[in-house]
């Protein structure tokens, strides 16, 4: 891993009411990294992502992207700094068409009239091309996840955060999406942070893993190592 992290989380703590959901979480994601954040239900994975992108307010700690402090920025500003977030379920807006969902993702950019990004994203997802003008409600679960990722990519982010993209998808589709994320990293240099319940699948595609337990980073290391380490697997990952 390179020395200068692209995304650096330092001592992040967050609460829901009196309950401490994130407890002094620190993790570094290198440029072009492909990382998994794993852990049981309620370990704080989703809250971690929501706090990173300003949907949830941190109690203390810092979030740095290329050295810029994003901790106090509202969500609508965070995306403009290069941190994109595909929330759980994708957050596709079913009342809009496929194309409108995509365009929405790049609307804040000053070069939004430039079709290049749109065409590039379309090229990544052939199933979406023929459904362009259709309502997003007509898409299957896998296609919705693609659309959600596509919308995030329209912002040309430096880091893409994904919250359980495999949720509710068939294993084959999940595999396609994981492969796509890896390809994106390999070919475009996108940095990806993948929150997953599906630990085995996520570790097989990523190069680094963080395991959250009760709001703390319980262990971290190269994905292969975590996959091979029986103790970690039994204690935190449940397989």
Partner 1 sequence: MTHFINLTLNGLASGAAYAALALSLVIIYQATRLVNFAQPALALVAVYAAYTVTQLTGSYWIGFASALIVGMAAGALVERVIIRPIAKTSQLNAIIVTLGLLLVIQGGVGMVWGNEQHGFRYAFSYVGRFSPADTFALVSVGVVALLLFAVYRFTPFGLRMRAAAFHPESARLSGVKVGLMLTAGWGIASFIGALAGMLAGPPFLSPNVFDVVFVFGITAAVVGGLDNPFGAVIGGLLIGLGMSYVSGYLGPELATLSALAIVVIVLSVRPDGILSRPTARKV
Residues that bind partner 1 (CB under 8 A): 53, 55, 74-77, 79-80, 84-85, 87, 89, 91-96, 100, 103-105, 107-108, 112, 137, 151-152, 155
Nearer to partner 1, 3 or 133 (CB): 133
Work out how close the CB of 78 gets to partner 1 at its nearest, in angstroms, rounded to a whole number.
Answer: 8
H-helix or E-strand containing 153?
A: helix 141-153
Nearer to partner 1, 51 or 223 (CB): 51
Nearer to partner 1, 50 or 208 (CB): 50
Alpha helices in 29-129 (DSSP H): 45-52, 75-78, 98-105, 116-124, 126-129
Work out how close the CB of 80 gets to partner 1 at its nearest, in angstroms, rounded to a whole number.
Answer: 6
Nearer to partner 1, 55 or 218 (CB): 55
Work out how close the CB of 156 gets to partner 1 at its nearest, in angstroms, rounded to a whole number.
Answer: 12
Nearer to partner 1, 102 or 226 (CB): 102
29: left (phi over 0), alpha (psi -120 to 50) or beta: beta
- Comparing CA positions, the residue from 159, 114, 156 lying closest to residue 8 is 159
Nearer to partner 1, 76 or 183 (CB): 76
Work out how close the CB of 82 gets to partner 1 at its nearest, in angstroms, rounded to a whole number.
Answer: 11
Q: Give CA–CA dist 210/223, Å, rounded.
A: 9
Work out how close the CB of 95 gets to partner 1 at its nearest, in angstroms, rounded to a whole number.
Answer: 4
Q: Give CA–CA dist 216/206, Å, rounded.
A: 20
Report, in angstroms and rounded to the nearest whole number, the Rg of the chain calculated over CA atoms. Answer: 17
Whether 38 contacts 236, CB under 8 Å: yes
At residue 71, φ and ψ (nearest 5 deg) are -55, -40
- Comparing CA positions, the residue from 81, 18, 92, 89 lying closest to residue 52 is 81
Work out how close the CB of 93 gets to partner 1 at its nearest, in angstroms, rounded to a whole number.
Answer: 5
């Amino acid at each position: 891993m390179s020395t200068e992290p692209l995304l650096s989380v330092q001592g992040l703590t967050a609460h829901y009411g009196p309950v401490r959901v994130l407890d002094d979480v620190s993790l570094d994601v290198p440029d072009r990294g492909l990382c998994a954040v794993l852990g049981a239900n309620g370990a704080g994975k989703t809250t971690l992502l929501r706090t990173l992108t300003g949907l949830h307010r941190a109690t203390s700690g810092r979030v740095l992207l290329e050295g810029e402090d994003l901790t106090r920025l509202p969500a609508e500003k965070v995306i403009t700094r290069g941190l994109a977030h595909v929330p759980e379920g994708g957050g596709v807006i079913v009342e809009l068409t496929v194309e409108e969902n995509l365009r929405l993702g790049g609307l804040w950019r000053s070069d939004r009239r430039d079709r290049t990004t749109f065409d590039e994203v379309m090229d990544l997802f052939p199933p979406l091309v023929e459904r362009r003008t259709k309502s997003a409600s007509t898409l299957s679960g896998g296609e919705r996840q693609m659309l959600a990722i596509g919308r995030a990519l329209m912002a040309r982010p430096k880091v893409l955060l994904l919250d359980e993209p495999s949720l509710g998808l068939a294993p084959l589709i999940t595999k396609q999406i994981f492969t796509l994320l890896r390809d994106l990293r390999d070919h475009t240099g996108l940095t990806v942070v993948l929150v997953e319940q599906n630990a085995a699948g996520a570790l097989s595609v990523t190069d680094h893993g963080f395991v959250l337990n009760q709001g703390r980073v319980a262990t971290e290391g190269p994905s292969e190592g975590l996959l091979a380490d029986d103790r970690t697997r039994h204690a935190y990952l449940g397989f």
